[in-house]
Structure 1
Amino acid sequence: MSNLELGVIGNCNIAALIDAHATLVWGCFPRMDGDAVFHGLLNTDSQGRPPPDRAGEFSIQLVDQLHGEQAYVPNTAILRTTLYDHHGGIVEITDFAPRFALYERIYRPPMIVRRIQPVKGRPRILIRLSPRFENGALVPEITRGSNHIRYVSPAQTLRLTTNAPVSYVLEGRSFVLERPIDLLLGGDESLQAGIEATARDLFEHTQDHWRSWVRALSIPFEWQDAVIRAAITLKLCNFEETGAIVAALTTSIPEAQNTERNWDYRFCWLRDAYFVIHALNRLGVTRTMEDYLRFITDIVEDATEGELRPVYGITRDTAIDEVALDHLSGYRGHRPVRVGNQAHIQVQNDVYGSVVLASTHAFFDRRLTHPAGEALFEQLERLGNRAIAVFDKPDAGPWELRSIESVHTFSAVMCWAACDRLAKIARHIGLADRSAFWRREANRLHAIICERAWNEAMGCFVSSFDGQDLDATLLLLHEVDFLDASDPRFAATVTQVGRHLRTGDFLFRYVAKDDFGTPKTAFIICIFWYIDALAAIGRQDEARTLFETVLERRNNLGLLPEDIDPATGELWGNFPQTYSMVGLINSAMRLSRHWEDAF
């Protein structure tokens, strides 16, 4: 049965998901938002069973398999799956996407390497490779050579180069694994060296690269393994060529059972990307921030009168209209399978604060090779002017409601944050007049928000101006410096949010009915926001206990999707979700004992 006990491999160009049976069930080529040539995850029946032909998968099956185990090579994005058969046979599969420094640049080809090693006995394996192009609609033309198979479509060609018996792969026949074999799947290019030597060199260089990357992280004393895995996973969601950061690597894994909340998350939400950058900065990953700043600087440059969309393609593409793929049955039969996301045409006024907040580090961080100056500040002022104009205007809000608009408190607060940070930036770079202007505007917005978003009868801030509903973004009022942690209004709001939105160990983003009914699952990032808020108001022990509990709900490899059923613990939603991994990192950094106090 399909579930989210999956591992992710990637190289900041492509990514793939592999289940505990060593089946590659999701992968797009030639980049992470591209053609889902491996889409088995989204083509199963209601019981999670694939179609008989297992199209859209790349599997390595052990005949008479008993069970499988998975683990990452420590401190890398290299995944190992160990399969056991009923006769004592053991096979180990090592999966990765090559990534390392080469010729003063990062080598990250659209390639997946699968290394198969016999460990014990005389195991028999069966290799099935069945890519389908145009997101599963097109069966490729297949040609073969002595050591390769080409899968051809009008748009692209995939080439498998292998020292396994090519005929057995083509015919789907099992064979005894007597020696190690390698499978290299990528573009239509010949190898420049032997198959085994190439696979070994790619493995060693990729392993060294990730371990060096991890060594540079500034991690907390406690929960180190969890934070390292979350950091690597966030990095895999970074399309390094442009600097964009996708919200997740999949599309259409539903937020809950029997719902149409199936969305494509392979795009860059300016809001989500800010939170990712903020978390990575805490870990010392400055290069990703610099790359993302390049991405949003180009977006700001393109923006008409400073008006931003909430979401962009990973090359700043705005033609990402949503369509349904009727030929795929969905995750456990949950249709529709969507490509594209209609949120790109929504009005979400928090985006102006998201971009300014993400950019603020560039003015203050002395580690950067090219710190920001007046040129970027002038661009950001355009966004600030837009924030002033729209802070009290209705929008779709952070939860992207499709037919309901309100003046959302979070959107208004993020507009205030744009003004607040512009005042601080201007003062830092010596522009006293501009600093005074933005401080006056920030103070004006702050006063209006406090008046309109505070509900006296409920004794807390609420989700919208003059409203009475609550949502989890209210937990961020201290995180973005709108309220001090000692402000009794913040503590009261945290208490009310916990009372109304918490179910068991998790927190709903809201409980009010929306376009698709009442939410059925909890949004995982929200419980991390709650943990952080508890710690901020002095409920540290409660926060630590809850954090430990939430960590136990990760999948077997330490990864999280978007949603969880609080009653059953079942994981739902697109995977892996950057929001969720960000929340883990932030809470660990906040709650961990300091290194100097640990001994």
Structure 2
Amino acid sequence: MDRYPPIAEHGLVGDLQTTALVSSQGVIDWFAAPRFDSPSVFAALLDHERGGHFRLAPDHPEGSWKQLYYPDTAVVVTRFMSPDGVGETIDYMPVLPGPTATDRHTLVRVVRAVRGTVHFGLECRPRFDYGRAAHELELTPHTATFRAPGSTAHLQTGIPLERDGRDGQDVRGGITLHAGKTAVAVFTVCAPGGRPPPPPSTERITAELWDNVDYWQQWVRTSRYRGRWTDMVHRSAITLKLLTYAPTGAPVAAATMGLPEQIGGERNWDYRYTWVRDGSLSVRALLDLGFIDEAARFTHWLGERLERGDGPGDEPLQIVYRVDGNPHLPEETLEHFKGYRGSYPVRIGNAATEQLQLDIYGEALYALAEGRAVGEQAGYHGWKNLARTLDWLADSWDRPDEGIWETRGGRKDFTYSRVMCWAAFDRGLKLAAEFSRPADLARWTRTRDEILEQVMERGWSERQRAFVQHYDGDVLDASLLLAPRVGFLAPRSPGWLSTLDAMDRVLVSDSLVYRYDPAASPDGLRGSEGTFSLCTFLYVDALARAGRLPQARYTFEKMLTYANHVGLFAEEIGPSGEQLGNFPQAFTHLSLIMAAKTLDEALDERPERRSTP
């Protein structure tokens, strides 16, 4: 077993309240419960010795593996080929009915021999509260109960179990299966004292598995995407759905925490929270595919945040919240974790809560207004909260902030922040007119136009012949690739085409796109990072809008080759093509959907070339 498999060597399973990562070697090495942002139960990716894992796979050291998703589902199948036979592990989490939050979450693992004879080994070593809480084991031949302060876990299986570990508080087991035979292991986390579920029968688990398959395939069937990249778009949509907390409709930025943007570096953040920016754009991507319910739920969640007005200082919104809307997520370091392949520190919480990022108001309005979600769902009361927010922004837009990338090098006049403030007023004005809502239209119009004039004058660099990251320098920034998408710039205007050319010279490396150059614009952190996958897909979107279709399609198709074996992306691509950062990343998958739709539409509208007779 690889102690630290590549980040990309995983599939994702989930129940719409939390998720787990399954490695291609049959190991659950990340699982937090009862929510995405809860303490981990298995976290071997962050520390193999202290983090905990759950392995269920053949013991053959030789052989090969294949991992895939059952088509259009969140069911992961890992197949193992050896000289003695072929075996497979099927992993899934039963989707929880309804939007009620629960402390009971279940991982189901089914193993079977497909051909020949296969011996499966089991190791279950939970480490509660990020490995900080000790547990006690109660063991019977086929049931293990792990009791820790604040949590209980039950392992029920037809595989004979025995004590394992230095203190005898873990379990291991093994079973030999002949072709066609099956065994089941069910791991359930619940509140202290929670009773185990009924013993798992093969018949019940089989029926539950097919119910799970039906749920996901029926959900995907409602997508209205009919373009050229159906498999990748639908896989991205399922991933965004898996990363959305069903009880509130709030999407998280990623399933994991602490995975590095540079191996051995310090850029190791906790992304298991809901950023207003990421959540808005995730919902916009799903909305573009026809998933209306997700937009409605997020509209309600965002409306509650505006109603509470619990941003720092006088701000209506905080940039990031817990999935239940709690604004408190203090950042701390897990001193006892070594980090993925020595990438320390491992952080939980996120200190970005105190940052000012004015662009979030633009992303929120852009996402919701395009789907008519605000006008149709929010009602008069919701509109008043939104109008009050835009009135505040009219007083506050011209302030330096930390920007979209959450730099820790001080506030600046970021161009992208101004562009998205423009988008907020532009969408607000359109909504007010469309639904005849009360608003200070004259002030909003005046502010919108003032922002545009300022960006055109101060955000442009004559030396670069491009729009730049902030007003006090010549640094290029890929976040501005969204400017033509939101309508701030015409996608084929001379200034924008010149900006695209400059980005191609400076930020693009073999079709992959960096966010910016940290050496030219210090961000307060040591080390470097890889290319940013979000930015590469935004680059495709911008190229397609600019009419550069051959380059756009080539870049898109090349970027798809960096997906892992089951179609998932992390945050970044490293120098050797490896995936880096938290995994999977919502930003990457939502931008893939955006790029695919834009490119499809542009290709469909392109005049056909006629051959010469």
Shared fold (TM-score, shorter chain, > 0.5): yes
1:455 equivalenced with 2:461 (yes/no): yes
The answer on whether the counterparts of 2:161 and 2:172 sit within 8 Å (CA) in structure 1 is no
- Alpha-carbon distance between aligned partners in 1 of 2:37 and 2:302, rounded to the nearest angstrom: 18
For 1:502-521, list aligned pairs within 5 A: 502-511=508-517, 512=520, 513-517=522-526, 519-521=528-530
Give the aligned CA root-mean-square deviation in angstroms.
2.4
Aligned to 1:152: 147
Moved more, 418-427 or 462-471: 462-471
For 1:425-440, list aligned pairs within 5 A: 425-431=431-437, 434-440=440-446
The answer on whether the counterparts of 2:266 and 2:526 sit within 8 Å (CA) in structure 1 is no
Moved more, 170-179 or 145-154: 170-179
- Quick one: structure 1 residues 165 and 258, their matched pair in 2 at CA, closer, same or farther if it must change by over 3 Å? closer
Aligned to 1:74: 71
1:481 equivalenced with 2:487 (yes/no): yes
Tell me the amino acid that sits aligned with residue 142 of structure 1. L
Q: 1:126-158, CA deviations, whole angstroms, 9 ceiling, x for partnerless residues? A: 100110111012231111346421111110111
SS at match of 1:217: coil
Aligned to 1:90: 86
Aligned to 1:582: 590
Moved more, 17-26 or 65-74: 65-74
- Quick one: structure 1 residues 38 and 597, their matched pair in 2 at CA, closer, same or farther if it must change by over 3 Å? same
Aligned to 1:3: 6
Aligned-residue offset at 1:399: 0.7
Aligned to 1:46: none
- Quick one: structure 1 residues 393 and 194, their matched pair in 2 at CA, closer, same or farther if it must change by over 3 Å? closer
For 1:87-236, list aligned pairs within 5 A: 87-99=83-95, 101=97, 110-145=105-140, 147-167=142-162, 171-178=171-178, 179-186=181-188, 187=190, 188-192=194-198, 195-236=201-242
Aligned-residue offset at 1:359: 2.9
Unaligned runs of 5+ in 1: 44-49
- Alpha-carbon distance between aligned partners in 1 of 2:591 and 2:247, rounded to the nearest angstrom: 25
SS at match of 1:161: strand
Aligned to 1:47: none
Aligned-residue offset at 1:171: 4.8
Aligned to 1:424: 430
The answer on whether the counterparts of 1:23 and 1:59 sit within 8 Å (CA) in structure 2 is yes
Aligned to 1:402: 408
Q: 1:58-110, CA deviations, whole angstroms, 9 ceiling, x for partnerless residues? A: 0013122422210100000000001123x3222111100101657x9899951
Aligned-residue offset at 1:584: 1.2
Aligned-residue offset at 1:159: 1.1
SS at match of 1:3: coil
Moved more, 184-193 or 273-282: 184-193
SS at match of 1:121: strand
- Alpha-carbon distance between aligned partners in 2 of 1:135 and 1:517, rounded to the nearest angstrom: 26
Aligned-residue offset at 1:428: 0.7
Aligned to 1:573: 581
- Alpha-carbon distance between aligned partners in 1 of 2:605 and 2:104, rounded to the nearest angstrom: 44
SS at match of 2:84: coil
Aligned to 1:22: 26
Aligned to 1:522: 531
Aligned-residue offset at 1:277: 1.1
- Alpha-carbon distance between aligned partners in 1 of 2:493 and 2:443, rounded to the nearest angstrom: 26
- Alpha-carbon distance between aligned partners in 1 of 2:211 and 2:96, rounded to the nearest angstrom: 6
- Alpha-carbon distance between aligned partners in 2 of 1:539 and 1:232, rounded to the nearest angstrom: 30
1:359 equivalenced with 2:355 (yes/no): no
The answer on whether the counterparts of 1:396 and 1:402 sit within 8 Å (CA) in structure 2 is yes
Tell me the amino acid that sits aligned with residue 429 of structure 2. A
Aligned to 1:339: 348
Aligned-residue offset at 1:371: 2.9
Aligned-residue offset at 1:536: 0.9
Aligned to 2:257: 251
Q: Percent identity?
A: 31
For 1:359-378, list aligned pairs within 5 A: 359-361=368-370, 363=372, 371-378=377-384
- Alpha-carbon distance between aligned partners in 1 of 2:160 and 2:448, rounded to the nearest angstrom: 68
Tell me the amino acid that sits aligned with residue 408 of structure 1. F
For 1:322-337, list aligned pairs within 5 A: 322-337=331-346
- Alpha-carbon distance between aligned partners in 2 of 1:456 and 1:594, rounded to the nearest angstrom: 31
Q: 1:411-442, CA deviations, whole angstroms, 9 ceiling, x for partnerless residues? A: 11111111111110110112476444422321
SS at match of 1:258: coil
- Alpha-carbon distance between aligned partners in 2 of 1:212 and 1:595, rounded to the nearest angstrom: 29
Aligned-residue offset at 1:458: 2.7
Aligned to 2:611: none
Residue among 240, 255, 258 paired with 2:246? 240
**Length, aligned pairs only:** 585
1:56 equivalenced with 2:56 (yes/no): no
- Quick one: structure 1 residues 175 and 163, their matched pair in 2 at CA, closer, same or farther if it must change by over 3 Å? closer
SS at match of 1:202: helix
Unaligned runs of 5+ in 2: 165-169, 609-613
The answer on whether the counterparts of 1:356 and 1:380 sit within 8 Å (CA) in structure 2 is no
Q: 1:515-569, CA deviations, whole angstroms, 9 ceiling, x for partnerless residues? A: 124633111111111111111111011100111111001111111000112x411
The answer on whether the counterparts of 1:561 and 1:571 sit within 8 Å (CA) in structure 2 is yes
Deviation above 4 Å: which 4+ runs of structure 1?
A: 104-109, 168-171, 593-599
The answer on whether the counterparts of 2:514 and 2:531 sit within 8 Å (CA) in structure 1 is yes
SS at match of 1:474: helix
1:441 equivalenced with 2:447 (yes/no): yes
Aligned-residue offset at 1:337: 1.0
Tell me the amino acid that sits aligned with residue 174 of structure 1. G
Tell me the amino acid that sits aligned with residue 317 of structure 2. L
- Alpha-carbon distance between aligned partners in 2 of 1:503 and 1:517, rounded to the nearest angstrom: 22
Aligned-residue offset at 1:293: 1.1
- Alpha-carbon distance between aligned partners in 2 of 1:245 and 1:13, rounded to the nearest angstrom: 10
Q: 1:178-206, CA deviations, whole angstroms, 9 ceiling, x for partnerless residues? A: 43111111134333475323312221111
- Alpha-carbon distance between aligned partners in 2 of 1:60 and 1:451, rounded to the nearest angstrom: 61
SS at match of 1:12: coil
Tell me the amino acid that sits aligned with residue 502 of structure 1. V
1:541 equivalenced with 2:550 (yes/no): yes
- Alpha-carbon distance between aligned partners in 2 of 1:158 and 1:299, rounded to the nearest angstrom: 34
Q: 1:343-372, CA deviations, whole angstroms, 9 ceiling, x for partnerless residues? A: 111111112222322332453699xxx533
Q: What's the TM-score once normalised by structure 1's chain length?
A: 0.92
1:414 equivalenced with 2:420 (yes/no): yes
Tell me the amino acid that sits aligned with residue 320 of structure 2. V
Aligned-residue offset at 1:591: 1.4
SS at match of 1:398: coil
Q: 1:426-475, CA deviations, whole angstroms, 9 ceiling, x for partnerless residues? A: 10112476444422321222112222212233322111124311100111
Tell me the amino acid that sits aligned with residue 411 of structure 1. S
Tell me the amino acid that sits aligned with residue 40 of structure 1. A
The answer on whether the counterparts of 1:62 and 1:126 sit within 8 Å (CA) in structure 2 is yes
- Alpha-carbon distance between aligned partners in 1 of 2:262 and 2:162, rounded to the nearest angstrom: 42
SS at match of 2:131: coil
- Quick one: structure 1 residues 543 and 361, their matched pair in 2 at CA, closer, same or farther if it must change by over 3 Å? closer
